[in-house]
Amino acid sequence: MLRNAALLLLVFLAAWIAGCAPKAAPDTRDADVKAVRDIETAWSKDLPSKNADQFVSHYADNAIVLEPNAPAVAGKEAIKESLKPMMADPNYAMSFEPTKVEASKGGDMVYVIGTYSMTMSDEKTKQPVTDKGKYLTVYMKQADGSWKAVADMSNTDHPLPAAR
């Protein structure tokens, strides 16, 4: 009888401990990748409008943009202001396409690697010049469940000019 009671107590304790164990979070990586791919598609479709407000709507308030040969631009408002002259350029055109999208198992971060093409006016000749390159954008899930870019970096495929 005492043996049965001890066995019953062990079964109860095992069940109680198993019930207290933390539950594994569901793996949402596929859904997270799809959500960010959809954002990238929408963002790229926004480009022809040359609307800086629409462009920065994909950034978190504390985002940072790292462009070649330029200082870092931190904060959504500063990013918007830095885009206005570029978007006012009559030759400005840009497109980008993700080539790799990876999500964290934790469901809070996604990074995108892709390629871009951007045309702008040459400062001296005012003729259109096209640059092609690659980019890396890091997205974080926001408190409301949306995805926003928090870090955005690009670099050209063109070789650097020779040292002077």
pLDDT in tens, the chain (164 residues): 555 555 555 555 556 566 665 666 788 999 999 999 999 999 999 889 999 999 999 999 999 999 988 999 999 999 999 999 999 999 999 999 999 999 999 999 999 999 999 999 998 999 999 999 999 999 999 999 999 999 999 999 988 766 54
What is the structure's pLDDT at 158?
A: 86
What is the structure's pLDDT at 26?
A: 84
Give me 84's structure tokens. 């206005």
What is the structure's pLDDT at 159?
A: 82
Model confidence, pTM: 0.81
SS (H, E, C) the chain: CHHHHHHHHHHHHHHHHHHHCCCCCCCCHHHHHHHHHHHHHHHHHHHHHCCHHHHHCCEEEEEEEECCCCCCEECHHHHHHHHHHHHHCCCCEEEEEEEEEEECCCCCEEEEEEEEEEEEECCCCCCEEEEEEEEEEEEEECCCCCEEEEEEEEEECCCCCCCC
Rounded to whole angstroms, how far apart are CA atoms 57 and 128? Answer: 27
With beta carbons less than 8 A apart as the criterion, state whether 134 and 152 touch: no
Which domains, from first to last, does the chain contain? 26-156 (3.10.450.50)
> Strand 147-156 to strand 59-66: parallel, antiparallel, or no bridges (unpaired)?
parallel
What is the structure's pLDDT at 8?
A: 57
What is the structure's pLDDT at 61?
A: 96
